[in-house]
Amino acid sequence: MTVQLPKLRSPVLSGDAEIVGTVITARFRGTADIEAKPELDQYVKALHDEALRVTATKVQIDLRELEFMNSSSFKVFVTWLAQVQELPAEQQYRIHFLSNPNMHWQRRSLAALSCFAVDLVTIET
């Protein structure tokens, strides 16, 4: 199975995804600031739809090469998480963040995000 998801291309942010078995991995690179928010928003919505289409059990978000994400862009993840939480249990998938411990913004934001859904979100450093 291949993932049917257009690549994210903005002047400062890029993203692409692949699927292995029932796990989708999306990688982000660059900077997710206010200018990139519309593209990021669109991309994460499409990622969610694709996860439901292929009945993914897990979506991995690889942030290890993402230099910075502002709070407004990070809200995209919060909204997405709320959407997954509201799904019926059989449609919910786990969300796994691959993070870079050297980036301070990731430590705080991901730790806070995991509080929203401790049973859905895991963080790997």
CB of 25 or CB of 70, closer to another protein:
70
CB of 32 or CB of 54, closer to another protein:
32
The residues, ordered by sequence, that sit 6+ positions from 107 with a Cβ below 8 Å of its Cβ are 99, 101
In this structure, the dihedral spanned by the alpha carbons of residues 95, 101, 103 and 106, taken in order and rounded to 10 degrees, is 30
The interface mask with another protein, positions 73-102, x = CB under 8 A, is: -xx--xx--x--xx----------------
What is the β-pairing status of strands 13-20 and 23-32? antiparallel
What backbone torsions phi and psi does residue 90 show, to the nearest 5 degrees?
-70, -20
Residue 17 β-bridge partners: 26
Please tell me whether residue 113 binds another protein under the rule CB under 8 A: yes
CB of 99 or CB of 109, closer to another protein:
109
The interface mask with another protein, positions 11-50, x = CB under 8 A, is: ----------------------------------------
CB of 54 or CB of 73, closer to another protein:
73
**H and E: helices and strands count for the chain:** 3, 6
Q: How far apart (Å, rounded) are the C-alpha atoms in residues 24 and 18?
A: 6
Segment contacting another protein (CB under 8 A): 5-13, 47-55, 56-64, 114-122? 114-122
Chain residues in the site for another protein (CB under 8 A): 70-72, 74-75, 78-79, 82, 85-86, 105, 108-109, 111-120
